[in-house]
Every structure is written in structure tokens, then in C-alpha cells.
Amino acid sequence: MTILVCSFLVLTSPVLPGGAMQYAKLAGRSAPPQGLRVFYVSHSLMWYAPKPIGEMAEAAGIKNHELVGLQSLGASRTIQHWNLPEDRNQAKKALQTGEVDVFIMSPISFPDEGVENFVKLGLEHNPNMRFIVQLSWGGGDIDNQDFPKGAFDNVNKEKTPEQLNSLYERNIQEGEAQADAINKKYGKGQKILALVPSAQAMVALRTKIANNDWPGLTRQGELFVDAVHPSAPMEALNTYLHFAVLYGQSPVGLPMPGMLTKAKRKDWGDNFNRSLQELAWETVTSYPYSLVIKAAEP
């Protein structure tokens, strides 16, 4: 049986201008995909990921991965990045060069007008580029449709699987609706915008902890350093999700990232890391909006 893995960057033509947009992978194929030029506009639930993703790409044998830039604003909607003054707006400047292959955003609630604005601008200068949007979990255990409301000072993180199942449901649905609309409006028959299922992976991991099914973690609260921000295991999991969506490749078997090694927890060793990698890959390949498809062929 052969496992076929295709990312959303697979296009019909074998070679495209700039040589940056052909991605398909057969499991076990020795040749890795070509590196990408990537720009991020981010809040604090994503801005730790770009550098480790570059390290993962290098470890996976992906050459010429380039972090073009990272524009960071705390607790930011994507429209806030769009509305930055022109002289400070590094994201717009990067897109206007036409030298970005993938532009990655992390809105809070959906729809976010800034997402479509950046898509339109990017395509004007590079019609072959693609876009990735993170579906973030809600700080204070709220659905981000309700942001910024929430009991941020006193959050009960130890929820039941039933409570977790619907925790971020409305915002995920709104994110999918915006992805559908953008792909229909700008995709010309292709899907040009993918979603990273960060909220869903958070729910999956917390559910396993609630069911006492994750060695190394006994409380859901261990995934957070405060009411909002992730601790090392969740940072690692989210970074693996991004790597998988960006390159359409499994992170399973990659070296342990720095955020886990720096934690210096004996129970967060190689097996723990591999479990995070496997969860990331399963979450991505089970989620249609990631546009990473794992299909079994006879």
C-alpha cells in the first residue's frame, strides 16, 4: 500500500514561474519538497513558530526555506496588521515585492477583513502565491467569537471531554466559511488558502489528558503558562501543525525542538515528542481545510 500525501500547494503545471510552487510527496520518496519563502503576521499564539519551522525544514532536508519576515502584534486581529501605517507595515512591503511564496496569518475571530485584504494584495504581485491561516484556540477558554470577553483571571482548564468538544466550535465554523469564500473568489478553481487546525489539536490533546491517556501530562492546565499562552508542549504541537500544512510532510521523526529541550522535563523526552508529532500529523491529515490529503492507494 502506498500513502499519497498532497499539500494544498500542488498545482497542475509541473513548473511555475519562480520554481516555487510544485509540491507533492509520496511517503518514502527520497526527494523533499522545494523550500518556500514565507512571511508571517502574528499574535503571541503563533509568533514562536517561524524559527523552529525553519529548523524543522532543514532537518527534513528541505533546502532554501526562507523566513522573509515576521510582523508581530500582541493580541492582534489580522486587520490590525493591515491597518499599520505604511512606513511600519513590513507585511505589505514584503507582498509588494512579489517575492513571497506563502503568507501566514493568525486572526483571533472570524471573519477578519484583513485576511482577504492581504490575499488580494499578495495575488496582485505574485499570482502563484498561497496563504495559510491559523485557527487559534480561545484565551480564557472562550470561543473566539466572544473575544475579548472571558474569565481570564480565573479559568478552569480541567474540562470534561464533552465540554472540550464544543469549546471553539463557532469560531472554527466561521473560519471555514471565510476560507470557502476566499477560495471561491480568488482561487480560479484552485484552493489557495489553507487552515491550520490549532484549536482542534488543542482540544484533541486536552481530551487525551482528561482521559488520562497522555503520559507526561496529568492536567490540562500544564499546556498553558497563563490563561491564554501555551507552554512548551503546546508550542511544539502547534509548530508541528504549521510544518505539516506548509510542506505537506509528516513531522514524525524530526528532532526534538528547542522549546521542549529547554523545558528540561525528564518525562518530556523522545517518546513524548513523537506522540506530539503523531497527533499533529493525524490532526492535519484528518482536517479537509488543511488541504493536506493522506489517501491510501491499493
pLDDT digit of tens for each residue in the chain (298 aa)?
Answer: 333 444 554 332 333 333 333 333 333 345 799 999 999 999 999 999 999 999 999 999 999 999 999 999 988 999 999 999 999 999 999 999 999 999 999 999 999 999 999 999 999 999 999 999 999 999 999 999 999 887 677 889 999 999 999 999 999 999 999 999 999 999 999 999 999 999 999 999 999 999 999 999 999 999 999 989 999 999 999 999 999 999 999 999 999 999 999 999 999 999 999 999 999 999 999 999 999 987 554 4
* Beta bridge pairs of residue 193: 131
Domain locations in the chain as residue ranges: 32-293
* Beta bridge pairs of residue 43: none
pTM of the model: 0.91
Residue 40 sits at φ, ψ, to 5 deg, of -120, 135
Architecture of domain 32-293: 3-Layer(aba) Sandwich (3.40)
Q: Could you tell me the end-to-end alpha-carbon distance of the chain, in angstroms, rounded to an integer?
A: 5
Closest to 10 in 3D by CA, of 178, 185, 248, 244: 248
Cα gap 6→108, rounded to integer Å = 28
CA atoms within 13 A on the CB side of 97: 13
In three-state secondary structure terms, 14 is coil
- Specify the length of the chain in residues: 298
